[in-house]
């Protein structure tokens, strides 16, 4: 068991009424320090507040930073549960490896997540479709502006209550195919949950939004031919009742939602192909009337159907701009398990007591 010192806040904040994604934070945060000689040490829960760092702290200069994202849900009986946290912890440690950052013992990381959620369990909303977003992250803190691997780090977990992603029901989104900018390349950081990937994605995202689109469809960085991801989600296509999703070959983030979808779909008897998916395959399937559905999958929205794709001015409408039956069934099943409305036969949820 990780030994965690808890300093309770003297002034509890008022709970927000409105919970747009990522705007409000709970009363406390988890912090732990790393140094080469001591390893990870001084695990503590303290009141949420600013932290003080040298302006030379390496994270500010060379982006040695990673993050994770998962959620805690309140069930109808009032219990609090987290969805597949061990998957996020495993992914965090792969990201550590890629960014030369110190891994955290998986049990210690889980103890930290459970402890901060337990401390602020009154921040897990009970309104329908609301949840508590958990944001663990790690930063390099050596006060040094030469390029090297930092010898000191901070690991922090903050919590943010979030409202329903689709207050008016699931609305399929319009997606712009980005043919110029790329998010990641094989051999780079694409498979890692690194803030640097997001810095690289902003330009494409801005262009898509300026043109009236919600998100970007990212193509591979070498040939700009194969599909990687959609916005900050993994992507699935249904062609002729077969399910196809880009394989994890270095530039695609291994999503927990992606993995859960593949699991469910196979369990329901569908054929799921994880392989390279050329954009031309999708446009041709659409022309032939065989493209039944397309949707993104990620923790924030769970499932986000794609209604329209704009490929260089060539507009593809999918499933008449409506959510398809497979996307709907995945959404209902995943959210059903997460909020404890349907049986969790896969043992995906962890109750926080």
Ligand X SMILES: *Cc1c(COP(=O)(O)O)cnc(C)c1O
| Minimum distance of ligand X from residue 20's CB (angstroms) | 18
Supply the minimum distance, in Å, between the C-beta of residue 103 and ligand X.
18
Q: Which of 204, 221, 246, 298 binds ligand X (CB under 6 A)?
A: 298
Residue 226 and residue 249 in contact, taking contact as beta carbons nearer than 8 Å: no
Stretch of 42-50, 202-210, 252-260, 271-279 lying at the interface with ligand X (CB under 6 A): 252-260
Q: Which of 26, 95, 234, 304 is in the footprint of ligand X by CB under 6 A?
A: 234
What minimum distance in Å lies between the beta carbon of 137 and ligand X?
12
**Min dist. Cβ of residue 110 to ligand X (A):** 16
Rule CB under 6 A: say whether 84 interacts with ligand X.
Answer: no
Secondary structure (3-state) at 327: helix
Closer of 239 and 302 to ligand X (Cβ): 302
DSSP line for 101-131: -----HHHHHHHHHHHHHHTGGGS--STT-E
Residue 28 near ligand X by CB under 6 A? no
Contacts of 236 (CB under 8 A, 6+ apart): 243, 244, 245, 258, 261, 293, 294, 295, 296, 297
Angular region, 58: left φ>0, alpha ψ -120 to 50, beta rest: alpha
Candidate list 16, 69, 151, 250; residue touching ligand X; CB under 6 A:
69
**Residue 299 binds ligand X (CB under 6 A):** yes
H/E run at residue 32? strand 28-35
Stretch that binds ligand X, among 100-108, 167-175, 228-236, 241-249 (CB under 6 A): 228-236
Q: Which of 37, 267, 61, 295 is nearest to 171 (CA)?
A: 295
- 36 CA to centre of own chain: 29
Secondary structure element (H or E) that encloses residue 314, with its range: strand 314-317
256 contacts ligand X (rule: CB under 6 A): yes
Is residue 341 classed exposed, middle or buried when 0-12, 13-18 and 19+ CB atoms within 10 A define those classes?
Answer: exposed
Least spacing, CB of residue 7 vs ligand X, in Å = 31
In the complex, minimum distance from the CB of residue 36 to ligand X, in angstroms, rounded to a whole number: 29
Contact set for ligand X, span 182-211 (CB under 6 A): 193
Buried b (16+ CB within 10 A) or exposed e, 238-248: bbeeebbbbeb
- If one asks whether residue 141 binds ligand X (CB under 6 A), the answer comes out as no
| Interface stretch with ligand X, choices 13-21, 130-138, 226-234, 275-283 (CB under 6 A) | 226-234
Q: Which residues bind ligand X (CB under 6 A)?
A: 69, 193, 229, 232-234, 253, 255-258, 298-299
């Amino acid at each position: 068991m990780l030994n965690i010192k808890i300093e309770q806040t003297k002034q509890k904040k008022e709970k927000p009424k409105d919970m747009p994604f990522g705007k409000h934070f709970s009363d406390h945060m988890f912090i732990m320090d790393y140094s080469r000689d001591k390893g990870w040490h001084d695990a503590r829960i303290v009141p949420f507040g600013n932290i003080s760092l040298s302006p030379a702290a390496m994270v500010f200069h060379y982006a040695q930073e990673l993050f994770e994202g998962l959620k805690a849900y309140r069930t109808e009986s009032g219990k609090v549960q987290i969805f597949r946290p061990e998957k996020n912890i495993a992914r965090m440690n792969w990201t550590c490896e890629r960014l030369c950052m110190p891994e955290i013992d998986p049990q210690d990381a889980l103890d930290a997540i459970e402890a901060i959620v337990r401390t602020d369990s009154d921040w897990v909303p009970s309104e329908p479709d609301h949840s508590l977003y958990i944001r663990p992250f790690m930063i390099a803190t050596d006060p040094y502006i030469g390029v090297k691997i930092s010898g000191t780090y901070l690991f922090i977990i903050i919590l943010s209550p979030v409202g329903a992603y689709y207050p008016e029901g699931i609305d399929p989104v319009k997606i712009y195919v980005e043919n110029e900018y790329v998010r990641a390349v094989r051999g780079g950081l694409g498979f890692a949950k690194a803030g640097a990937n997001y810095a690289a994605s902003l330009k494409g995202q801005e262009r898509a939004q300026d043109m009236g689109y919600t998100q970007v469809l990212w193509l591979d960085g070498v040939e700009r031919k194969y599909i990687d991801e959609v916005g900050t989600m993994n992507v699935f296509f249904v062609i002729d009742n077969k399910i196809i999703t880009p394989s994890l070959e270095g530039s695609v983030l291994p999503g927990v939602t992606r993995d859960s979808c593949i699991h469910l779909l196979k369990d329901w008897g569908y054929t799921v192909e994880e392989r390279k998916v050329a954009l031309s395959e999708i446009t041709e399937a659409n022309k032939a009337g065989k493209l039944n559905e397309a949707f993104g999958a990620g923790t924030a929205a769970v499932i986000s159907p794609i209604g329209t794709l704009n490929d260089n001015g060539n507009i593809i409408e999918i499933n008449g701009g409506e959510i398809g039956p497979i996307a709907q069934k995945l959404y209902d099943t995943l959210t059903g398990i997460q909020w404890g409305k349907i049986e969790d036969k896969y043992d995906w949820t962890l109750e926080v007591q």
